[in-house]
């Protein structure tokens, strides 16, 4: 507000108020003295003003020099920590002129409330206002001197960032980005743009397409104009950064980006509808990444998408980001995706979203069983899956041979997972305990485990097998530790016993490989999973492992098994898998043979009211009629159709 906008009477009235006021003008907002002065003005015959406009009049009159501010009461400065000061500086940007206009605005109320929430510092509005001025005056002179050191980054790091974000200068469509999208793409895209949580985390085994999803989302944001400016996107691939030997590198990069690229506070941009999107790939490469992310989203409004090839170290951040992040898992390709990647035709999955409550309804599975599908195309796609597994590399290029696929899975997937992320996780947890676990032992042990995917194996037999392959005698605790490491890296899924109450289960293990082709790659064996006349026990166990892994991918459901003879309430029952959905338990048997039969175990389990099992599933090699087992509560579904559920 300029003086020219007010009458001479207004200016003179306010000038006299300021001369007689014992409080310095700059300290007046939200002080009780301001209320008294404003009440005096309101009771005069002068034009009515809002509190904000009255403050602007006080401010403009004082700056014009028409009031004396000497010998006024000066209040004590407010003490804050460096962290609190840093948060305040990040929250509010701009010059002192802009800040001086804040009192009695909704923006001031927002900044005040946010600062109190983030710092838990108990300040009055007047305290907060004076703190703003105090910080500004303290930093005003030194800020320019220190500005470069606060917001600058090493030149090599800057070069890397500009290379990763070419769209800052000019957006040119990248023809190398794959066009085929994973099944999880749309769900992740929707959560990132419209979700209640500011962070989306994508976790999965190595080489299943996590980084590609990031690239595709960036491309869609740019191509379809979801954003006003390409500069609203920041992409950091941490394994490609040649230098970031600085404290809290992620926070440092965000500070630099906010000041030098978007040149405005994230919160201000968000208020204008110009949200910032931050894409972080291979985030596990930096220490304390989760605490840095938490700090960023707690004081800035932005959207963050996190991926990494270390499923272990990504998962370690889950607790600290509780309530701030969606956690998503992605597995290897499903049959509909393989069909799409290989351009074999149109083979849609039964549903794009599996609703957990539907899985415990018999009607859902009956409808799925009766769902019409192109059997001939499904058969062709299933054969490719049997031969190559589900890793994208094996299907993006049709010229990839089985030998090339085996080499890729052995070296790029398994060896790198063991040598890099599993070793890093182990060293981080046990480096101070003088415990070692050599990658060579882990590789040989994993090869041994591959033989037993889908098989219930006793701990003593597993120990003997590992000893035969490695000449290492492992204790029960060491074996459990190794299984935990492999499961956390998402190379295997460990299946727990039903109810987790069976004593014998402590001496038995059941696990499933994340992809059956890994077994073929490491063992260099060729078990025919597709051809007619299959009655091989090995093939049946491999398929059982495939089914187990698929069931664990259905979402927030429990997947367990029931061994024979150790549960008094289910004596004589042996069940391959049990889907635990709320209070319901759905028994599942795998019968991968030309002429499947059903044992008494699943029927006994269904009859026992304690199990709350409304129906059961039998997974078969081929499609059979729905009444094949002459029990209306046992629904047969072929394995290839099951894999097309989602």
* pLDDT digits 0-9 by tens, 470-516: 888 888 888 888 888 898 889 999 998 887 545 555 578 899 999 99
Whether residue 410 is contained in a domain is answered as yes
The burial of 395, by beta-carbon neighbours within 10 Å (0-12 exposed, 13-18 middle, 19 or more buried), is given as buried
The position carrying tokens 């579904």 is 637
What pLDDT score was predicted for residue 76? Answer: 63
The position carrying tokens 């996107």 is 233
pLDDT tens-digit series, residues 356-374: 889 999 999 999 999 999 9
**531 and 445 share a domain?**
yes
The percent of residues in the chain predicted with pLDDT above 70, rounded, is 87
**590 and 557 share a domain?**
yes
Q: How confident is the model at residue 145 (pLDDT cuts 50, 70, 90)?
A: very low
**568 and 536 share a domain?**
yes
**54 and 86 share a domain?**
no
What pLDDT score was predicted for residue 565? Answer: 62
Q: How confident is the model at residue 62 (pLDDT cuts 50, 70, 90)?
A: low
Asked if the model's pLDDT at residue 201 lies above 90, the reply is yes
Q: How many CB atoms lie within 10 A of CB 143?
A: 13
420-425: Cβ within 8 A, 24+ apart = 420/309, 420/310, 421/206, 421/284, 421/309, 421/310, 421/311, 421/312, 421/313, 421/489, 422/312, 422/485, 422/486, 422/489, 424/310, 424/312, 424/313, 425/310, 425/312, 425/313, 425/485, 425/488, 425/489
Whether residue 343 is contained in a domain is answered as no
Number of domains in the chain: 4
Q: How confident is the model at residue 381 (pLDDT cuts 50, 70, 90)?
A: very high
C-alpha to C-alpha distance for 61 and 26, rounded to whole angstroms = 12
Candidate from 120-129, 183-192, 428-437 with smallest mean pLDDT: 428-437
Q: How many CB atoms lie within 10 A of CB 250?
A: 21
Candidate from 35-44, 407-416, 522-531 with smallest mean pLDDT: 522-531
What pLDDT score was predicted for residue 122? Answer: 86
Whether residue 245 is contained in a domain is answered as yes
What pLDDT score was predicted for residue 238? Answer: 85
Asked if the model's pLDDT at residue 345 lies above 70, the reply is yes
**406 and 297 share a domain?**
no
CA 108 from centre of chain: 33
> What is the pTM for the complete model shown?
0.73
**What secondary structure does DSSP assign to 78-111, as a single string?**
PP--HHHHHHHHHH--S-HHHHHT-TTSHHHHHH
The position carrying tokens 């072929």 is 638
Whether residue 567 is contained in a domain is answered as yes
Q: What is the CATH number of the domain that holds 213?
A: 3.40.50.300
**260 and 168 share a domain?**
yes
Whether residue 72 is contained in a domain is answered as no
List the domain range (segments joined by +) for residue 125. 82-94+105-142
C-alpha to C-alpha distance for 502 and 494, rounded to whole angstroms = 16
What pLDDT score was predicted for residue 403? Answer: 93
Q: What is the arithmetic mean of pLDDT over 214-218?
A: 95
pLDDT tens-digit series, residues 604-621: 899 989 899 999 999 999
C-alpha to C-alpha distance for 72 and 87, rounded to whole angstroms = 31
Asked if the model's pLDDT at residue 390 lies above 80, the reply is yes
What pLDDT score was predicted for residue 115? Answer: 87
Whether residue 412 is contained in a domain is answered as yes
Asked if the model's pLDDT at residue 77 lies above 50, the reply is yes
Q: How confident is the model at residue 93 (pLDDT cuts 50, 70, 90)?
A: low
Does 477 or 187 have the greater pLDDT score? 187
**136 and 168 share a domain?**
no
C-alpha to C-alpha distance for 21 and 60, rounded to whole angstroms = 16
Asked if the model's pLDDT at residue 103 lies above 50, the reply is yes
Asked if the model's pLDDT at residue 198 lies above 80, the reply is yes
What pLDDT score was predicted for residue 1? Answer: 47
Whether residue 626 is contained in a domain is answered as yes
Please report, to the nearest 10 degrees, the dihedral formed by the alpha carbons of residues 23, 27, 33, 38 taken in order.
120
What pLDDT score was predicted for residue 401? Answer: 93
Q: How confident is the model at residue 438 (pLDDT cuts 50, 70, 90)?
A: confident
What pLDDT score was predicted for residue 118? Answer: 84
**194 and 299 share a domain?**
yes
**383 and 317 share a domain?**
no
The percent of residues in the chain predicted with pLDDT above 90, rounded, is 42
C-alpha to C-alpha distance for 222 and 167, rounded to whole angstroms = 9
**123 and 263 share a domain?**
no
Q: How confident is the model at residue 155 (pLDDT cuts 50, 70, 90)?
A: confident
Q: Give the residue from 310, 329, 348 where a domain finishes.
A: 329
Q: How confident is the model at residue 66 (pLDDT cuts 50, 70, 90)?
A: very low
Q: Which residues contact 40 (CB under 8 A, 6 or more apart)?
A: 17
**588 and 633 share a domain?**
yes
Q: How far apart are the two ends of the chain, measured CA to CA in Å? A: 62
Asked if the model's pLDDT at residue 567 lies above 60, the reply is no
**621 and 482 share a domain?**
yes
Contact 261, 168 (CB under 8 A): yes
What pLDDT score was predicted for residue 97? Answer: 47
The position carrying tokens 């003008």 is 25
Average pLDDT over the chain, rounded to an integer: 85
C-alpha to C-alpha distance for 581 and 579, rounded to whole angstroms = 6
Cα–Cα distances (Å) from 382 to 165, 311, 475, 529, 631, in that order, read: 40, 28, 40, 10, 28
The CA angle 38-42-46, to the nearest 5 degrees, is 120
Q: What is the arithmetic mean of pLDDT over 264-276?
A: 92
Whether residue 337 is contained in a domain is answered as no
**What secondary structure does DSSP assign to 197-261, as a single string?**
SSEEEEE-STTSSHHHHHHHHHHHHHHTT-SS-GGGEEEEEGGG-S---SSSHHHHHHHHHHHHT
pLDDT tens-digit series, residues 503-545: 555 578 899 999 999 999 999 988 888 866 555 788 989 999 9
What pLDDT score was predicted for residue 106? Answer: 86
What pLDDT score was predicted for residue 440? Answer: 86
What pLDDT score was predicted for residue 3? Answer: 47
Contact 118, 299 (CB under 8 A): yes
Q: What is the arithmetic mean of pLDDT over 408-431?
A: 83
What pLDDT score was predicted for residue 192? Answer: 95
Residues linked to residue 233 through DSSP beta bridges, in sequence order: 277
């Amino acid at each position: 507000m300029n003086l020219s906008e007010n009458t001479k009477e207004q200016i003179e009235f306010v000038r006299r108020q300021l001369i007689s006021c014992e409080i310095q003008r700059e300290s007046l907002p939200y002080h009780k003295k301001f209320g008294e002065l404003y009440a005096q003005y309101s009771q005069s015959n002068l034009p009515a003003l809002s509190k904000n406009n009255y403050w602007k009049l006080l401010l403009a009159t004082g700056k014009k020099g028409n009031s004396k501010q000497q010998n006024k009461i000066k209040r004590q400065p407010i003490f804050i920590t460096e962290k609190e000061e840093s948060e305040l500086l990040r929250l509010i940007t701009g010059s002192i002129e802009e800040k001086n206009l804040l009192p009695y605005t909704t923006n001031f109320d927002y900044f005040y409330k946010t600062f109190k929430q983030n710092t838990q510092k108990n300040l009055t509005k007047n305290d907060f206002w004076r703190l703003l001025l105090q910080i500004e005056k303290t930093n005003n002179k030194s800020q320019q001197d220190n500005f470069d050191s606060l917001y600058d980054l090493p030149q090599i790091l800057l070069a890397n960032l500009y290379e990763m974000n070419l769209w800052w200068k000019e957006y040119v469509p990248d023809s190398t980005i794959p066009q085929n999208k994973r099944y999880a793409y749309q769900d992740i895209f929707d959560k990132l743009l419209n979700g209640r949580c500011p962070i989306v985390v994508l976790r999965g085994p190595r080489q299943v397409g996590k980084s590609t999803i990031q690239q595709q989302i960036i491309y869609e944001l740019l191509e379809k104009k979801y954003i006003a400016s390409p500069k609203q996107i920041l992409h950091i691939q941490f394994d490609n950064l040649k230098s970031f030997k600085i404290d809290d590198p992620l926070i440092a990069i965000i500070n630099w980006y906010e000041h030098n690229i978007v040149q405005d506070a994230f919160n201000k941009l968000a208020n204008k509808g110009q949200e910032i999107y931050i894409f972080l790939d291979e985030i596990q490469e930096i220490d304390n990444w989760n605490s840095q992310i938490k700090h960023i989203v707690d004081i800035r409004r932005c959207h963050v998408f996190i991926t990494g090839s270390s499923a272990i170290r990504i998962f370690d951040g889950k607790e600290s980001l509780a309530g701030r992040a969606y956690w998503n898992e992605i597995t290897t390709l499903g049959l509909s995706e393989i069909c799409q990647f290989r351009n074999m035709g149109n083979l849609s999955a039964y549903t794009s979203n599996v609703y957990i409550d539907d899985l415990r309804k018999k009607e859902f599975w009956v409808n799925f069983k009766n769902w019409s599908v192109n059997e001939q195309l499904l058969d062709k796609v299933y054969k490719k899956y049997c031969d190559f597994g589900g890793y994208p590399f094996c299907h993006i290029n049709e010229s990839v041979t089985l030998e090339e696929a085996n080499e890729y899975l052995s070296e790029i997937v398994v060896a790198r997972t063991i040598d890099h992320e599993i070793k890093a996780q182990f060293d981080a947890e046990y480096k101070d305990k003088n415990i070692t676990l050599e990658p060579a032992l882990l590789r040989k042990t994993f090869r041994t485990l591959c033989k037993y995917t889908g098989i219930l194996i006793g701990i003593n037999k597993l120990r003997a097998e590992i000893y035969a392959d490695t000449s290492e005698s492992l204790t029960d605790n060491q074996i459990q530790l190794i299984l935990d490491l492999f499961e956390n890296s998402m190379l295997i899924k460990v299946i727990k016993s039903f109810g987790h109450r069976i004593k014998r289960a402590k001496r038995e293990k059941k696990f499933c490989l994340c992809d059956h082709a890994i077994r073929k790659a490491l063992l260099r064996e060729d078990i025919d999973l597709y051809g007619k006349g299959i009655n091989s026990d090995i093939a049946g166990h491999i398929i059982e492992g495939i089914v187990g892994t698929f069931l664990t991918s259905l979402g927030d459901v429990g997947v367990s098994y029931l061994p024979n003879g150790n549960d008094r309430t289910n004596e004589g029952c042996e069940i391959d898998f049990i889907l635990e959905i709320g209070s319901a338990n759905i028994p599942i048997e795998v019968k991968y043979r030309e002429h499947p039969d059903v044992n008494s175990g699943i029927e006994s389990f269904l009859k026992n009211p304690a199990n709350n099992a409304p129906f059961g599933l039998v997974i078969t090699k081929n499609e059979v009629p729905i009444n094949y087992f002459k029990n209306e509560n046992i629904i047969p579904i072929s394995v290839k159709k099951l894999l097309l559920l989602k």
